[in-house]
Amino acid sequence: MLYSYYWRFTMLDAQTIAIVKSTLPAIAETGPALTAKFYDRMFTYNPEMKDVFNMSNQRNGAQRQALFDAICAYGANIENLEALLPAVERIAQKHTSFSVKPEQYQIVGKHLLATIDEMLHPGNEVLEAWAQAYGVLANVFIQREEAIYHEHEAQPGGWRGVRPFRISAIQQQSEVIKSFTLTPVDGKPVAAFHPGQYLGVHVQDAEFANHEIRQYSLTQAPNGHDYRIAVKHEPLGTVSGWLHAKAKVGDIVNLAAPAGDFFLQVTPEMPVTLISAGVGLTPMLAMLHGLAAEKHPAPVTWLHAADNGSRQAFADEVAQTGAQLPHFKSYVWYSHPRTEDAGRFNAQGLMDLSVFADELGDKHRQFYLCGPIGFMQFIARQLLDAGVPNQHIHYEVFGPHKVV
């Protein structure tokens, strides 16, 4: 789908490409200090951009690191579109959930180039080369995002931008996780989605310094009339705190259409293993519902890690949904089980995939992962060490992307 934009990358001439590649080491040496200065500059001169970016990710440095990594990856692969395609698609999907507009790329570009100039003083020739490179990449994103917006509004029940939804149900799913059912205010149908995708949730509250946008995974199969998300209450989470402490049935939030490049893609003969920890089970739950709805004939395995029974969400729903599949098994690890958790889990400690050594050797099996970065790195290493091909491992990172 993105190959139709390849020619836009080739618009850069050889000299521009050479300048960008030759100056990349100097930019790389700055580390995330470059992007930290960039964000500080942009938010000073264009404070309205705070309504687009997740400011929590600014405080913890995650967004600054992600942007720095993206700049370095683009510079290093400026002649190799194929290496950039997955990142372009992932970012474009996320941008549509933020309702990013073309003119905002001009703001970002202006401050990025000004930051490079202020920190490195590379001269006009270098700045012009990076301006051209940025312009080409920005245009690729603008074109891809417009295509996604069009796809969203063209499908049955779809829409462009944001649409008001009413919270129609709230359920406590664990000590720290609540689910929220969201029904369109206009009473019309809602668009389908791929299990594993997320919603862009736009929230405005008098106590918020800015308009806040978050992505939350959908947790059920498409039904055409409502959506359900599940949210963990993070200790300093602005939106998760609002949803857990203030949101009530009847409140209205605005939603961007379902988006995301992480979703279930299997054929009937492919075995599937869904692996999660904590709130990372949310996209896996939608996948499980999707597999059950299709009566997936190949084996399906659910592997989950939680602190204890009070922190494990959707346990009954997983069991009931899995029972609809012809070949389903579940295995749960508790790191710190309580006395009352007896019989609710299979093993104590960290998730050890050697229990399923026979499955790891299945050359057709697909593995889907979601959870904290450290957990996914731990699981990915076990899979790779067992000989699972890289292309059979699929994962989702909540927040700015990191390579697992």
pLDDT > 90: percent of the chain: 80
**Bind-site residues for heme b:** 95
Binding residues for NADP(+): 278-283
pLDDT score at 86: 87
For 191-236, what is each residue's pLDDT tens digit? 999 999 999 999 989 889 889 999 999 999 999 999 999 999 998 8
Confidence of residue 403 (pLDDT cuts 50, 70, 90): low
pLDDT attached to residue 81: 67
Fold entry, domain 272-396:
Rossmann fold (3.40.50)
Has domain 162-259 been given CATH number 2.40.30.10?
Answer: yes
Is 347 a residue whose pLDDT tops 90?
A: yes
Q: How confident is the model at residue 5 (pLDDT cuts 50, 70, 90)?
A: very low
What is the 3-class SS of the chain, one letter each residue?
CHHHHHHHHCCCCHHHHHHHHHHHHHHHHHCCHHHHHHHHHHHHHCHHHHHCCCHHHHHCCHHHHHHHHHHHHHHHCCCCHHHHHHHHHHHHHHHHHCCCCHHHHHHHHHHHHHHHHHHHCCCHHHHHHHHHHHHHHHHHHHHHHHHHHHHHHHCCCCCCCEEEEEEEEEEECCCCEEEEEEEECCCCCCCCCCCCCEEEEEECCCCCCCCEEEEEEECCCCCCCCEEEEEECCCCCHHHHHHHHCCCCCCEEEEEEEECCCCCCCCCCCCEEEEEEHHHHHHHHHHHHHHHHCCCCCCEEEEEEECCCCCCCCHHHHHHHHCCCCCEEEEEEECCCCHHHCCCCCEECCCCHHHHHHHHCCCCCEEEEECCHHHHHHHHHHHHHCCCCHHHEEEECCCCCCCC
Tell me: pLDDT of 280 over 80: yes
What the block records as the tokens of 71 is 């700049």
Res. 1 pLDDT band, cuts 50 70 90 = very low
pLDDT at 54: 78
Catalytic residue among 5, 39, 74, 105: 105
The confidence band for 60, taking pLDDT boundaries of 50, 70 and 90, is: low
pLDDT of residue 215: 95
Establish whether domains 162-259 and 272-396 are of one fold.
no
Give the global pTM. Answer: 0.92
pLDDT at 66: 81
Quote the pLDDT of residue 53.
84
Q: List the binding residues.
A: 95, 198, 214-217, 278-283, 397-400
Active site residue 145: yes
Residue % of the chain over a pLDDT of 70: 94
Token pair, residue 346, equals 């299979």
Over range 291-305, report the average pLDDT: 97
Question: What pLDDT, on the 0 to 100 scale, is given for residue 2?
Answer: 44
Domain 14-154 has CATH 3.40.50.1700: no
Q: Catalytic: 5?
A: no
For residue 169, the SS3 value is strand
Mean pLDDT along residues 129-158: 94
**pLDDT computed for residue 65 by the predictor:** 81
Sequence ranges of the domains in the chain: 14-154, 162-259, 272-396
DSSP label of 266: -
pLDDT at 6: 43
User: What was the pLDDT predicted at 83?
Assistant: 81
Q: Write down the pLDDT at residue 296.
A: 98
Nearest to 300 by CA among 354, 333, 264: 264
The tens digit of pLDDT for each residue in 227-274 reads 999 999 998 889 999 999 999 999 999 999 999 999 999 999 999 999
**So what's the pLDDT on residue 356?**
93
Give pLDDT, residue 50. 92
Average pLDDT over residues 383-401: 88
Give the active site residue among 39, 134, 145, 368: 145
